[in-house]
Amino acid sequence: MTKQNRQTSLLVAAMIICAILLRVMAKSDLWSVPGGIARAIIYIALYIGWGISVSNRIIQVQVRHYLIAISGLMVFWFVFRTTKYHFTADVAIRRQLWYWYYLPMLLIPLFSLFVSVSLGKSANARLPKSTQVLYIPTVLCLLLVLTNDFHQLVFSFPEGEIWTDANSEYEAGYYFVIGWEIICAFTSFIIMLIKCRLSQRKKYLPVLLLTCSVGYALIYASGVEWMQLIGGDVTAAQCLMFTGILECCIQCGLIQTNTGYQSLFEDGSIGAQIADADCHIRYTSSSAPKLTEGMIRSATRGTVMLDRNTLLRSSRIDGGYVLWQEDISDITALLEKLEENRKTISESNAVEQENYKTRVKINAVREKNRLYDRLQAQTAHQIELLDRLLTQYETESDPGIRRSLLAKAAVIGAYIKRRGNLIFIGEKCDVTDTAELSACFDESFANLELMGVECAFDIPGKISIDIRDAIRVYDFFEAVTETAIDDIRYVWLKARSLESAVLFYLQAECETELSALSGLADTCAHEEGVWSFSLRIGKAGGQT
């Protein structure tokens, strides 16, 4: 609980204690009228303050309106009650004021029911129109009470005496009205009780207040003297109970509030800051770096590199900007690795060419040359494409385009590496395992994700397949990727094991025309920008 919340709670408790003391003094014939008026003012101030607090805190629009209405009804109830006892001597007016008690007595349980139904819903959620039917019995009950002087179906009065609440008797209509109030209140409490079990913090608070409300009703009905002394005002007690239960729902998170965001932001692990329109920092998280005004202004115009592994980005929001740091150490390390691979491949090619010219008779060197020549021949297009991308990267000055080029180069480089692994495995054995193919796709998909492509694959392991079939599947995937590399958005690959074969399904979402690749697959389909292919390969030793 924050310091402000503690102070508010202490103030509310002090006001309630003062109201109870004023009632005790009034029962002792001390300051009966001034004390009663003062006590009413205290309660009215409490409910007005609670209504203002609700309007500032509650996110759910409909819940906020109902809670404010409940606050207004409680103020209405106390104003009419105080007027009846302290400012009116006319018996007829007093009786009519008494009848109007039933406006808040009927609407507060109904609105509480509406609030309980709305608990846990989204901020802009609305109750179904069918709930408006509940207004019909409520209005009928109110009209029945307000017109009691004409029919006396709710309260009856003895003939020849003045009609007051002191000598009235309850009729069938009264029990109908009270029954409807009890149904609404009981249903509301049950729904709150059920929903408070879903809350993970302070979920005991509504239950505790519900228990207190029931306990008060039982003790009051028993006629215990001390309760009549300090809590005999049913209006005050029930209003406090209703307010307390609803406030507990707010405190335990059942009713959404827009408080606590500043502390949440400051304690967050993301390195983010919020600046106003003049680039002055207003809010900052604990892990955010210190930024100068010049750095902030630069970030509002574009991405700023804080160091070789960190970028500073920004986005416009109402009244200013939000700035956050992005860790690119993985990309930097990948770029360095790609550069090393490029140099290694370049150096290896030079060595291989020299060894080939001199026709060295050493078997180990000859075999190495043969394998590298095979890799180069089968990936010549990719090597050329990789070299072109890296050359373009060196001449490009735009950071965004440079990152895009490096991401594409990473995809091509991963294919060259894994394609070489398949070739080397094929030199030793004609059979491989689907786990090796999974490793190929895992590395290719990891690099595709650097381009912002959504990737997913599912290949069952420990299924023996021919190495040529594994190469066929991987080459087809690379053909799709390279063809649509500029606008591919989503790639999905799934393998299903059949009795003697493995069926591969590949889906790619892009704008590029891929029909030219249909001859490389068993089936090809295109629907709403998604290309679907299937390839069927036999298991090692089986038949397709």
Instruction: Kindly list the domain boundaries of the chain, sorted by start residue.
Output: 3-251, 261-327, 329-428, 452-466+476-544
Q: How far apart are the first and last CA of the chain?
A: 69
CA dist 103 to 80, 126, 181, 232, 491, Å?
11, 24, 11, 21, 63
The helix/strand count (H/E) of the chain reads as 19, 14
pLDDT per residue over 450-489, tens digit each? 888 999 999 998 899 999 999 999 999 999 998 888 899 9
pLDDT at 141 over 90: yes
**Is 246 in a helix, a strand, or coil?**
helix
CATH 3.40.190.10 fits 452-466+476-544, yes or no: no
pLDDT at 526 over 90: yes
* Structure confidence at residue 543 (pLDDT): 43
Tell me what the mean pLDDT of segment 128-150 comes to: 91
Query: What is the Rg, in whole angstroms, of the alpha carbon atoms belonging to the chain?
Result: 39
- DSSP-assigned beta bridge partners for residue 457: 493
DSSP string, 78-113: HHHHHIIIII---HHHHHHHHHHTHHHHHHHHHHHH
pLDDT per residue over 230-255, tens digit each? 555 666 777 787 788 778 777 776 67
pLDDT at 83 over 70: yes
Question: Identity (one letter) of the amino acid at 285?
Answer: S
pLDDT at 382 over 90: no
Tell me what the mean pLDDT of segment 507-515 comes to: 91
DSSP string, 254-301: SS-BS-SHHHHHHH-SS-EEEEETTS-EEEE-TTPPP--HHHHHHHHH
* Structure confidence at residue 406 (pLDDT): 86
Q: How confident is the model at residue 147 (pLDDT cuts 50, 70, 90)?
A: very high
Strands 304-307 and 530-538: unpaired
pLDDT per residue over 334-362, tens digit each? 888 888 888 888 887 777 777 767 666 66
What does DSSP assign to residue 159? T
Phi, psi of 316 (to 5 degrees): -75, 135
Strands 490-497 and 454-458: parallel
Per-residue 3-state assignment (H helix, E strand, C coil) for 121-157: CCCCCCCCHHHHHHHHHHHHHHHHHHCHHHHCCCEEC
pLDDT per residue over 399-445, tens digit each? 888 888 888 888 888 888 888 888 888 888 889 888 888 999 899 99
Taking residue 34's Cβ as centre, other Cβ atoms within 10 Å add up to 13
At 48, list the tokens: 């007005």
Tell me what the mean pLDDT of segment 316-335 comes to: 78
Residues 6+ apart with CB under 8 A from 353: none
In whole angstroms, give the CA distance from residue 346 to residue 387. Answer: 10
Question: Are the C-beta atoms of 488 and 530 separated by less than 8 Å?
Answer: no
Tell me what the mean pLDDT of segment 153-176 comes to: 84
The candidate with the shortest Cα–Cα distance to 468, out of 499, 425, 506, is 425
In whole angstroms, give the CA distance from residue 305 to residue 403. Answer: 13
* Structure confidence at residue 206 (pLDDT): 66
CA dist 417 to 123, 373, 380, 434, Å?
51, 14, 13, 17
Q: Which CATH number fits domain 261-327: 3.30.420, 3.40.1840, 3.30.70, 2.60.40?
A: 3.40.1840
Half-sphere exposure of 428 (CA within 13 A, CB side): 5
Tell me what the mean pLDDT of segment 1-9 comes to: 65
Taking residue 127's Cβ as centre, other Cβ atoms within 10 Å add up to 16
Question: Identity (one letter) of the amino acid at 286?
Answer: S
**Is 312 in a helix, a strand, or coil?**
strand
pLDDT at 541 over 70: no
- % residues pLDDT > 70 (the chain): 81
Question: Are the C-beta atoms of 438 and 480 separated by less than 8 Å?
Answer: no
Tell me what the mean pLDDT of segment 49-74 comes to: 86
From 50-64, 125-139, 199-213, 373-387, the region with the lowest mean pLDDT: 199-213
At 90, list the tokens: 């006319």
Which is more confident, 318 or 417?
417
Q: Using N-to-C axis directions, what is the helix angle for 61-82 and 91-100, rounded to 10°?
A: 160
pLDDT per residue over 192-208, tens digit each? 777 765 555 555 666 67
Tell me what the mean pLDDT of segment 149-178 comes to: 85
**Is 253 in a helix, a strand, or coil?**
coil
Question: Identity (one letter) of the amino acid at 376?
Answer: Q
* Structure confidence at residue 544 (pLDDT): 42
In whole angstroms, give the CA distance from residue 496 to residue 311. Answer: 42
pLDDT at 222 over 60: no
